[in-house]
Each structure stands twice: as C-alpha cells, then as structure tokens.
A and B are shown apart, each in its own frame.
Chain A
Amino acid sequence: MQSLSQTSTAGVLLDLSGVLILLLAFACLASKLFNRYVVYYGAQSVVLSFAAGTAAVAFHSAELWILAALTLAVKGIAIPVAARRLLITRLALKRDAAMSTGLSTSLIAGGALTAFAYLVTRPALLPHGTVASAVVPLSTAVILLGSLSMVVRRHTVAQLIGWLIVENGVFLGAITLVATFPFIVEAGIFLDIVAGVLIMVVFVSGLTRQLAEASAAELRELRG
C-alpha cells in the first residue's frame, strides 16, 4: 500500500485536518449547550470530509471520493440539521445539566487521554515520517475523547453526539491508515443509517424526557 509522507502537501493538509478534528472534539467536551454540541460535530464532519477528499486526491481512490461526498452530505449537513430540528428545537433542549463530572475535570481527563493516545500509538506501531504516524494518534485521541464525553454525559442526545464523534475518529484513522480498506464506504453508509435510526428513536420515544431531562442521575432505576 502506498503511504504518504508527512511533508507532502496532502500529508500536511491531512495532519492539519486531524488537529482541527481533535480541537473540535475538545470544544464539544468543553461545552454545555446542546446547540454547540451539534455545531461542533457538524464542523468536525465537514473537516473530515475535506480530509477524505485530500486522501482521495493523494491515493487516486474513487471510494474515498464517495466517502468524502457522503460525509459532507450526511454527517456534515443532514445529521446536524435533523438533530437540531427534531431533538433540540422540538424538545426545547438548552443547557445540558446531566453531567457526572465538572467541565474542568473532564477537560483534564481529555488531555490525559490525548497523551495516552500518543503513548500507545507512536512507538513501533507506525513507520516514522508517514502521515499515518502523525494522524493516527490524533484519531485515537478523538475516539477516546468521544468515549469520554459519552461517559461523563447522561443525556441521550449528548451520548449520541459522543458516539458520532467516536465514529469520526475511526474514519479519520481509516482514511490515513488503510486508504484501500475495501469496506470503508459500506461501513460509512451503514453507520450513517444507524445514526439516523438512533435520532429517530430518541425523537419518537421521547427518551430524553423519560430519563435524562430530569437530569436525574439519582432517579436512575437500573443499578448494580
């Protein structure tokens, strides 16, 4: 498989996109407003789509072009718009109060997870000087940050966004690590469908009102 060097134009652009995606994941972790979650997620998806386009040019891959277009259309536009219309406006969600830690604690934990991501992916795993060695630690960090925001937030919508960020991290890693992964478009489409189903489920069942809007970590019946 061809691998891009870190200093080529495409390599620099991918690296930059990776950093932006990580920063947006941090921004989402540091926010308390539902509106912002969706905006940051949408922006992150647009950057991911740009990164996929860059990789498509560099690897001459038609599949990555499809992935870039899909990412822009579905994750960059459709999911944020649907989440906003169906969930945030309709359910009148504003401030997320259902958190199990304070913002500063979760940011510090996020920093630690980023360092951990570099620690585990850097040595020996990735050939030095390739773009993968720069971007895969970033994508690992994004996966961990998304998981962290799923853990510290108890609201269903916030958890859903956290999962979508994890997914972005996985695809960021995929386009740089294994650009020839044959199943990437199918997996992307499938995960988009899952995301759509989950948004609909939260909308139809009113799951937010049932469990999290009362923000009651204390009310949770299922324990142990």
Chain B
Amino acid sequence: MTALAIFAALGPLGGPAAAIAGARARLAGLAQAAGAAVALGCALALLVLLDGHAPLAGWDGFLYVDSLGGFFLMTVAAVTLLAALGSIGYVAAQEDSGELSGFQVRLYFTFFGLFASLMLAALETGNLGLLFVLVEASTLASAALVGLEGRARSLEAAWKYVIISSLGVTIALAGTLFLFYSGSALHLGSNLGLTWPYLLEHAQALAPQPLRLAFLLAVVGYGTKVGLAPMHTWLPDAHAEAPSPASAMLSAALLNTGMYAIIRFLAIAQARLGHTYPRAVLLSFGFASIVIGALFMVRRGNFKRLFAYSSVEHMGIIAVALGFGGTLGLYGALLQTLNHALAKAVLFLSSGDVSLRYQTREAGQVSGLLTAVPVTGGALLLASFAALGSPPFGLFLSELTIVRAGFAHGSPVFPLLLLALLGLAFVAFARTTAGMVTGSPPAQLASPYRGRAAVAVTAAPLVLGLAALLVLGLWIPAGLDTVLRHSVGVIG
C-alpha cells in the first residue's frame, strides 16, 4: 500500500519527465495524461484497500492516508487526468500557432506535473508541518503556470497570487504553531506529536483557548488558498490569466487541497471545542464567499472570471456545509467537493476551447457556440447547469443534502439564505453563459487544431467529466457511498 501511495503522488511527474527530455506538446501531454491515469488508478486502488481497514500510516506519521485523504486523492487525481487530457489539444494548438514557444511548452508541462504531484503529496501526509511546506510549494509551482504566457497582465496576476497565498500560508503556519502550543500538556517533542491523527486522538488534552486561535488562523490561512472571501482577491485574476487547463487545476484541485487542510483542523477543533465555535467561523466565511461570488457573477465580462467567482461561491457552499455539520452536512460537503471539481474542470476546459477558437475571453464577443462547435457548446451549457445545481447532475443532489443538513441543524434562516443566494447565482451565471451558447456564430471561425485526433482528444475530457457528473446525479455508487461515510466518520 505504501508503494501505491508513492506512485499516486509521483505519477503526474510523467509529464515533467517527458517535457525535460524535450518532447513537444502532444507527446508531453500524452505522458502527462498517462501519469495522471497512474495516479488516479493508485488512488482508487488505495481506496479499495483502505475500505474498512486501519489507515495507511508510516514514517513517523509523515505518510498518512485514511478514507478522507483517499477521497481527496481520488478527486484531485481525477481532475489532473481531465486537465492533462485537455492540455494535449490546448497546448499543442498554442504551440502550432506560435503563441507559446517550445520553452514555454516545456515549462508548462514541468510545472503542471510538479503542481499536481505536490498537491497529491500534501493529501498523503499526516504531518501538519509538511502539509504547510507542500501547500506553499504547490503555490510556487502553480504561480509559474499562471504567469506562463508572460504578458504584463498574467505576470501581475501571478505575483498577486503568489504573494497573497504566501502570506496566507504563513498565517496558517502561525495557526499550526498555536495548535502545537495548545498541546503543551502532552509534552510533544517529536515529529509524531505534530501529526494529525495523534492530535485528534489526544484532542481532549488540548488547551481550548489557543486551539480556538489556531483554528481561526488555519481557516484564514488555508482559506486564502481555498479562496474564501475576503481572502479570495487573487483567485479571479489567477484563474482568468492561467492557460485554461491550468485554471481547471487551480479551481478543481488546488482549492480542494486547501479545503482538505481546513477539514483536518476542523476535526481537531470540533473534538475539543464542540460545534458552536467552528460552526460560527465556517458559516461566516462561507456566507461571505457565497455573497461575494454571487454578486460578482452579475457583472458580465471575461467568462473565465465568471467561472472563477463561481468557484468562490462553491467553496463558500462547502464551508457552509462543513459549518452545518452533522453526518448530513459533512456528507454533502464532500459530495459537493467531488461534483464541483468535475463541473469546474469541464467548464474551464471548454472555456479553453472557446478562447482558442474565438480568440477572446470576453463573454460578450462569443455567440452561437452550439451552432459553431456543438460538442464544446453543449458541454459548456450542460456543465453550467451542473455547476448551478440543476437536476439531473450531481450538484443538485449535494446542494439538496446541504440544505437539508441546514434545516436539520436548527435555525431555518441559514438554509433559506443559502437557497436565496443560490437562486441569485443561478440567474447571474446563466445570463452570461446562455448568451454565449445561443445566437448565431461569427462568419469565419478557423479551427485551431491540426487533425481530427486533436479535436477528439479535446472533446474527451469534456464528455468524460459530464458523464461522471450525470452518473453522480442519478446514482451514488455503493463504493463511493462507503468511502464518503467513512470519511464523515473521520471528521466526526
């Protein structure tokens, strides 16, 4: 099992290896996709092996994978696979048109694989210090992707991203310090004392006051990476400026990794402090994010920014679900994580195809997608509806679960507010995307791809992602249900 965990984290390095060896975009992209497929396979195998058994732990707690970690591993690996498939066509088209030099292409795949690998490794460690290091390292790797195109705007977005996230993660380090301090009574001295399972087991011995501060700092710090308002300001810029498959990775993988760190702190905080305080913190940040996300979606403009604000909104929904708590709330939060990751990956990948064909990222200049490019247009339309929580897609089910959890936890004000905000988000989002897919397309649209294979490989991740979303909306496989239940049990 240890070998599986190692291969899961190292798998995505296939792309960087090919890129450094000098492969061009198509070959490097295929290597990247193969590596991501290995990672996904290992993550799934780990989940199967973990079912009902003790978590995988080793190396003084530096390696620790339980159902919750396995679930996030699977989500991130799946997104990596979709984004890697999307990269093949996108980057090859940009290479052919001369927008990216050969050097930039190699940089892209080097940092793409590194970024994925670091996130997967962060999900596999039980050591909170190493978690901090890996999350910050993934910031650097992904900032290189954001600034890849080298224009003034993308450099500015990359700088904004790296400096705000670094500050956030440093604050998360301060939170980790306070968490460690709250365990003074345990006389922690070794690396084992800094591991998550150890602290959870001994949660009753933690001092409550420092623990409160530690939890708050962790939510603010890692929340910066998650994009919770008001720490979300880097997010729309970074998502808009990154190459589209990299935006998919940011939105669907990176944000989830940050949320995973928050969930780990939440479990410890809940075990010692009860539900009231963590709930108050998470509901505040969650609702702030939903409000900000929904309001900024009203503005029409760059469609990638629209999707980015939708990510802010969805991360807010997940935070609110964690705040509602209870089996129902936690279950909903995890299901929402997976569904949102799939929907956002499809949205960003289709936005990549749109921006290649129309040579613009402004929603106002795009029309007639369904007529001009039926597959991408259809995927964009369906994924939009999925992201907005309409049936029959997975997000309908998870958002319904979250609202139910809200009603179960007492005051009906919060779930009603959530429903109202979801309605607002629906209108704001659909207003823009509906305009993009309908109408008549501009007269001449050249295909940016060479050959049918490139077109097919661009469509593949869209179809795969949508199919998964549809399945999750109609039926939750028994295996996934078990994993989710175990994970909920881990959080408590």
Please say whether chains A and B are actual partners in one complex. Answer: yes
A interface residues (Cβ-Cβ under 8 A, vs B): 1, 120, 124-125, 143, 147, 150, 156, 159-160, 163, 166-167, 170, 173-174, 177-178, 180-183, 186-187, 190-191, 194, 197-198, 201, 205, 207, 210-211, 220-222, 224
**Chain A contact residues: over half helix, strand or loop, or mixed?**
helix
Closest beta carbon of chain B to A57's beta carbon, Å: 18
Known A143-B174, A170-B177, A191-B170; contact A222-B152, beta-carbon cutoff 8 A: no
Give Cα distance in the complex from A205 to B154, angstroms.
Answer: 12
Chain B contact-residue range equals 35 or more
Give Cα distance in the complex from A156 to B128, angstroms.
Answer: 30
B interface residues (Cβ-Cβ under 8 A, vs A): 127-130, 132-133, 136-137, 140, 147, 152-153, 155-157, 159-160, 162-163, 166-167, 170-171, 173-174, 177-178, 180-181, 184, 187-191, 193-194, 209-210, 213, 236-237, 240-241, 296, 299, 301, 305
Known A167-B170, A177-B177, A182-B191; contact A220-B136, beta-carbon cutoff 8 A: no
**Contact status A1-B133, CB under 8 Å:** no
Give Cα distance in the complex from A224 to B233, angstroms.
Answer: 8
Give Cα distance in the complex from A38 to B285, angstroms.
Answer: 36
**Contact status A181-B209, CB under 8 Å:** no
Tally of A-B Cβ pairs under 8 angstroms:
108
Closest beta carbon of chain A to B489's beta carbon, Å: 28
Question: 7 pairs across A/B with beta carbons < 8 Å?
Answer: A150-B167, A182-B129, A182-B191, A183-B127, A190-B137, A191-B170, A224-B299
Give Cα distance in the complex from A167 to B166, angstroms.
Answer: 10
CB contacts (< 8 Å) of B132 on chain A: these are 183, 187
Closest beta carbon of chain B to A166's beta carbon, Å: 6
**Contact status A211-B156, CB under 8 Å:** yes
Q: A163-B170, A220-B156 are in contact. List 12 more A-B contacts (CB 8 A).
A: A125-B213, A156-B159, A170-B173, A178-B181, A182-B190, A183-B128, A183-B191, A186-B133, A187-B173, A210-B156, A211-B155, A224-B305
**Contact status B163-A159, CB under 8 Å:** yes
Q: Interface centre among A120, A150, A221, A222, by most B CB within 10 Å? A: A222
Give Cα distance in the complex from A110 to B152, angstroms.
Answer: 32
CB contacts (< 8 Å) of B210 on chain A: these are 125
**Contact status B163-A150, CB under 8 Å:** yes
Give Cα distance in the complex from A180 to B191, angstroms.
Answer: 10
Give Cα distance in the complex from A163 to B224, angstroms.
Answer: 15
